[in-house]
Amino acid sequence: MTDTQNRPLTLPAPAKLNLFLHITGRRNDGYHNLETVFQFIDLEDTLIFEPLAEPRIELIDSDSDIAIADNLVFRAAQRLVLECQQQHQPYFGVRITLDKRLPQGAGLGGGSSDAATTLVGLNHMWGYPFTTSQLLLIAAELGADVPIFVHGHSAFANGIGDQFIDVEPDQHYYLVVKPQVNISTAALFADTRLKRDCKPLPPSQWHWQNTSNVFEPVVLKQYPAVAKLHAQLLNYGPTRLTGTGACLFTRFANQQQAIAAQAQLSLTESYVVQGQNRSSLIRTLTQI
């Protein structure tokens, strides 16, 4: 273990927004073909990686109600250990402490980002035994949103959301609001009103006016609290659901306008953030 590997490593796990989300059809394997643009925001969890003398993975996560065995951070670490064993790559034990700030079940990709930071962080600590392409394949096994956080750049995505073409959307300020509801993604996909036949868009031709989130009208019908909040936010600027919800985000010309709107609304959970086209995870690693 080198001196660098022997030191604790602190890395961010940033949230993302889906600037739009279309379904262009169903696949034979039961999944849907999607189109979306992922953009990161400057709201994030933090993961601390500390080397252990014994070859085991420990997870300290006091902020979520998820069992350790089901936690995506632990699953990602164990999956990378297995890959090291199968590929005869050296590794050592690590204690991972997760400092959770991103809300769960929000459509911001919190758990997926935590998993991606785990893969990227451990790969760094263990001396880069795997390429980014190899990490992306492992990431896709863990969840549909995990690969974009490994990729680390804003992207137009299609397939099941794991094929990327880098894009540079404007890095707007947003007011992100989490309604106090729990939304079932499975129920949304099962809803007969869900639009599944969007015409595919060339990556260079997407913009706010010719896109939408196809889950938004379904969510607004099923969850009156989200519909009410959505109507309020529209008074301040363009507003959209991210992912399958529950968070809504409103676009602003500058940070001051976003802060002013936040102050005028009675919001139980909200964040003023800025879009970022290069994730804080990748930027942090390049500075180490």
Q: Which residue has the tokens 């709107």?
A: 261
Residue with tokens 């794991």: 162
Given the residues 45, 61, 114, 145, select the one marked as catalytic. Answer: 145
How far are the Cα atoms of 12, 37, 88, 124, 212 from residue 118, in angstroms, in the given order?
A: 10, 23, 20, 10, 32
* DSSP letter string, 169-238: ----EEEEE--S----HHHHHH-TTS---PPP--GGG--GGG--BTTHHHHHHH-HHHHHHHHHHHTTS-
What whole-number distance in Å separates Cα of residue 73 and Cα of residue 189? Answer: 26
**What's the Cα-to-Cα distance from 32 to each of 20, 26, 109, 161, rounded to whole Å?**
15, 4, 18, 9
Active site residue 16: yes
Annotated active-site residue 145? The verdict is yes
| Amino acid found at 29 | D
**Catalytic amino acids?**
16, 145
